[in-house]
Each structure stands twice: as C-alpha cells, then as structure tokens.
Structure 1
Amino acid sequence: MRALIALAAITAIAGCVAAVPIDRPSDYTAPSKLSSCRVDLPQDWKDQLSRNKTEAGSHEQVTIVGANENAATTLVKTTRNRATELVLRDSKKRQQVMAVQDDAQLFGVEFDGRWVTFSTSPSPSDRTTTTYAWDSRNDGAPVRIGDSGAVVHNGKAAWSDSSGVHVYDLTKKKDRVVGQGKEPVFLGDAVMWLQDGRFRAEAALPEQLKNAKPAESAASDGRTVVWTEGDALRGWREGWTEPRELAEIKTLPRTEGILFPRVSGDFVSWQSESSYVTDIRSGATMHTTEGAYWLEVHGGALTQQGRRITAAAPLSALSALSRC
C-alpha cells in the first residue's frame, strides 16, 4: 500500500492549472438558465442512481470522478478530515492510486478504462501543478508526465502548456509537441485543440469543423466533440453533415456561461451555476432541483453528488430524454 504523500514530498514545477469544476456546496442548485428544450429528471434515472448509491459518513466526502465504459469500475475520491485518497474500485478489489493531505491538492482526474491521469498541487494555496499517469494493470506508483492537467484516450495523454500542445504515449513513455494552442481533445486517435477561436489539428481537420468558433471549453469522448460557442453548446460527430446546437442558455440575466462540458456516448453534462445533462439524440436537456443533484458523465457512468450521497448509474441503463 502506498503511504500518504506529504506536502513536502510532492515535487511541483510551474505550469498551467487545468480547469476544474467550481467547488460549490453540495446542497446548492440554481434556477434553470435554459432557453432550449428542458425536461424533468426521468424516473428510471432516479431509480438507477438510487440502486447504485453510496452514503458517506458525517465527516466524509465521496465523489466519483471516473468510470470505465460500462461503469463497472469507478474512480472514487474520498476525503476524511481533509486527507484525500483516490481509489480505483470494482466488485472484486480496490487499488489506491494516490493519497494527499488536502482535498484541494488532487484534481483533474481522467480515466480511459486502463490509464488514469490526474494532477496535484503542493498545497491549497499553491496551485502549481504536477500531472501524473497511473496504469491500473500494473498497479505501480504513479509516474509524473507533465506540469498541466491532461486528457487521456486509448493510452495517450494530451495537455497544453507554454511549450505547446503535448501528446504523450503512456506505453512508450514518449512526449511530443504537435502545435500551439490549448484545450486539446481526442477525436478518434487524432488530437485537436483550440487556437485563436478555431479548431486546429495535427492531421487534417474534419471539413465540418473548419468554420466552428469554439470559445473556452471543448471536450470529446473520442467519437463526439462538443464545445461552447456564445450562449450555446454545440457538437459534431462523424457522419453528421454539420455541427448541431445541443443546448442554449438565456442571455440575461447571466452570471456565468456554459462551463466544463463532458461528453460520453449520447449524453453531455455541463455546468452553468448548477448541473445539466443534454441528450444529443433528442436535443433535450435535464436540469433538476430535486435533492440538490449534481450530475456529470464520466466514461460509461452518470454520476451524482450531493447531500452525503454519491452514485454512478450505467449510461446504457438510462432512457433517452424525450423531445419537447
């Protein structure tokens, strides 16, 4: 078992900090800001989340931050008395990935079903970032790969820093810089990124994305890429003749736009003061005020956080959201 890593033991080199969801109280839910199609939380979603929930203790916070494609294996971040542990678990075993002394030191966790990438900082007040990769098959110690939060897909990690956009082969342990920009995402095994309000790519950029004008946020599950454009969430996947508008929020009153999109299969989760889930197929979006849910998609799971309850329901078990 790996020992708890003390603050002084974390070697950190100056770099860019990955965007992480805003830390709001778990019982906070803002009014809906949708101007596009809105539907209620389906009953079968409630049932699935209820069947797959974990109750935290009074001095404990448990958050599911990753899952494999069928949600049978999950990455769980557990904080007890501020000390935080990142654990990979399934029905048969648990594997400790990393432990730190304060919850704010561990962030930016991603999982592709085998490889885990995550970032740490020396202390809550010092956000200098060190990013690690960990191979769940070998269960060895995490290996430092860079100084900025990464995304991971099929054994490759990508991130951006002052040197440019990096693509790191986790098996071969080889890093290369493929261009200048930020917010890299994988589409298939190819890497795209944002530069000057446009998508760029190492290989040929799909024709349908050449006129896209992404703002600050983009995400992909390898098949579908989503991004923010003004007050809208837009997306594209292979086979579509053009990008589609997936959701839109009201222009006024507004204190923040669409943030932190995550896509998995036919579902996109995102935030705008509270959490939303959009169904790509119907164009409907779910925003709930029930039980102060915070919902996100991770791999093959819809995850819930709120009121000392955490849950991960398989996306494959959820009904489609109805069209308006």
Structure 2
Amino acid sequence: MRALIALAGVTAVAGCVAAYPIDRPSDYTAESNLSTCQVALPQDWKDRLSRNRTEAGSHEKVIVVAANEDAGTTLVKTTRNRTTELVLHDHGKRQQVMAVQNDGQLFGVEFDGRWVTFSTTPNPANHTTTTYAWDSRNDGAPVRIGDSGAVVHNGKAAWSDSLGVHVYDLAKKKDRVVGPGKRPVFLGDAVIWLQDGKFRAEGAVPGQLANATPGDSVASDGRTVVWTQGDELRGWREGWTEPRELAGIRSAPRGEGIVFPRVSGDFVSWQSQSSYVTDMRSGATMHTSEGSYWLEVHGGALTQQGWRVAAAAPLSELSALSAC
C-alpha cells in the first residue's frame, strides 16, 4: 500500500501555515520505526475498546474526535451522503453542533468539558479556514472566533495568525494578542507558544523549558506539555526536574518524523506514518500494527479509528504499559 503523508493537509492561514491530519486509507498500516521501548497492545485495551464500539454503514464514516475528562461525553464526526456532521453525545443525549455539505471539511475539534472549538474549510482545494466556538451548556449556534485552528482550556481559546498569538475569553467574547509566535498551548491557565525555536510566554517560561528547542509539533493537556525535538518526543510537567525523552524513532528518508502529538494524563498519542501511544510512567510505547486502525487520546478517552468502526474507552480504565 502506498504510504500517504499526513502533512499533506496544509492550510495557509493569514500568513502562517498550520498542518492538520488527513484521513489515511482504511487498510493502511505502516511498520514501526520506534527506536525506544516497544510493547504490544494490552488485551484489556482491546476489550475496553470492543465494548464501546460504533459500527458504521458501508457508505458512512464515524470518528470520535473529542471527549471530556471521564470520556462520558464525546464529540463524534459522521460523514454520510456527502454531509459531515459534528454531534455531541452526552450519556445518551445527542446534540448536533454543525453540519457541512458536500465537500466541506470539518476538523481540529477540541473540547474542555463545556466549550467546543473546531474549524471548517469549503472543500479540499480551498484552504480558507473558519474557526468556531460552541457552548455545550446552551442550545445556540456556533460562533465564529477566528481564521486559524484553536486549542481550548477552562473557557479560553488560543490560536495564532499573522497578528500573533491570540487568547480569547469565550464567555466574555474578548480577544487579546499576547505576543508574536505560533502553536500556542495551555499550561495551567497560562499560555505558552513557539517563537524562533524556543518556548515563550507572557511572563516567565518555566525554567525547565527555557533551554528546550522544540520543533513545530507541540501539545498540552493543561498539566503536561509535549513536543517534538528532532527524532524525539519530549515532555515536561510540574514536579519534573527537567524535560524527559518520551519516545524516539529511527530517521527515514522522506519520512514524516513525529507529528500530531496529543497528551492526556499519563498517555501521549502521536503519528509517524501510523499511530503510537506512549505511557510516560514506564517509557513504553505501543504501535498499532494489527487490524488496520490507529489510536489517539482525546480528553479522557482513548479513541480508535478504522474500517467502518469507531471506539472510545476511558483512559482511567486502561492498564499501564509495561516497561521493557
């Protein structure tokens, strides 16, 4: 099977460039290129995912794209009959957030337990991005907040464009630019971002991050920040005396490197032609080498995407990955 490069989804946004994942073929599986500790997918992970499966019809695709802290509330993207719909599922309650018609693209969904942010483009050829926020406590329509994909935490959204890094108070509908840079993430209630290969912030950057040299991929769950640095995935959280190497890959010609990290609690999911999940406690990583599917962490959930199947399992119910 010809490998597809995830960075093919590139959006030019008001002077900056943002990358987002594209769908891979349903039968796509790549060999592992891990250079660090690799373990098999635990049986209890398989069991938990199999109990929380959504079967898709032959002409539809269903993906769990976000979840709250206990995975009891999820956001699901469904494509059928040339319509893509984003729906909130909350303990049996179903609430539509938005639907786009025909070739409209809907991506970059983030959720802090109340607020949802997401982006749309008119079609694959038109990369004009519109980003929305939606309050799950009110039955209102999504509100446009910007033109670049956002992250959200505790009622605030952050994104970057040609003006710099924005922090937007969703309840007050108040936007401010906090400095030049890109790829903002929340660490606690503060925002840090990338500028000239370094972490920046409104105030002082935590001393343990001052000498880090992050690449273009960075993520945070509000407690732990992770980033790519060459062929390494690195991370830091309060209480650690210094950043740690979490996982590494062997360099490959024309490879995509480590991309699209996501972190929740002690788990980090990331991609390098296929998907990986790293347990920060043991330093072990599992690679999705069977069944032609991939795994990601979203909020408090481990989510599975694959051929006509979507699943989500609470991270709190999963065993730790064993150290090598």
Percentage identity across paired residues of the two chains: 82
What's 1:114 paired with?
A: 114
What's 2:50 paired with?
A: 50
What's 1:188 paired with?
A: 188
What SS does the aligned partner of 1:262 have? strand
What's 2:223 paired with?
A: 223
TM-score, reference length from structure 1: 0.94
Q: 1:90 deviation in Å?
A: 2.1
- Size of the aligned set, in residue pairs, is 312
1:199 maps to 2:199: yes
Instruction: Give the alignment of 1:24-173 within 5 angstroms.
Output: 24-102=24-102, 104-173=104-173
Deviations along 1:2-25, whole A, 9 cap, x unmatched?
xxxxxxxxxxx9575642113211
Deviations along 1:262-282, whole A, 9 cap, x unmatched?
000000000000000000100
> Take 2:279 and 2:24, find their aligned partners in 1: how far apart are those partners?
25
Contact 1:187 1:224 in 2 (8 A): yes
Letter in 2 for 1:304: Q
Deviations along 1:281-303, whole A, 9 cap, x unmatched?
00000002111121000000000
1:315 maps to 2:319: no
Letter in 2 for 1:120: T
Q: 1:91 deviation in Å?
A: 2.4
What SS does the aligned partner of 1:49 have? helix
TM-score, reference length from structure 2: 0.94
- The structure 1 segments of at least 4 consecutive aligned residues displaced by more than 2 Å after TM superposition are 13-19
> Take 2:43 and 2:270, find their aligned partners in 1: how far apart are those partners?
21
What's 2:19 paired with?
A: 19
What's 2:212 paired with?
A: 212
> Take 1:291 and 1:22, find their aligned partners in 2: how far apart are those partners?
19
> Take 2:67 and 2:17, find their aligned partners in 1: how far apart are those partners?
23
Q: 1:121 deviation in Å?
A: 1.2
What's 1:3 paired with?
A: none
> Take 1:96 and 1:17, find their aligned partners in 2: how far apart are those partners?
30
User: Structure 2 unaligned runs (5+)?
Assistant: 1-12
What's 2:6 paired with?
A: none
Worse overlay, 16-25 or 144-153: 16-25
> Take 1:319 and 1:251, find their aligned partners in 2: how far apart are those partners?
30
What SS does the aligned partner of 2:193 have? strand
> Take 2:223 and 2:67, find their aligned partners in 1: how far apart are those partners?
17
> Take 2:188 and 2:270, find their aligned partners in 1: how far apart are those partners?
22
> Take 1:228 and 1:101, find their aligned partners in 2: how far apart are those partners?
35
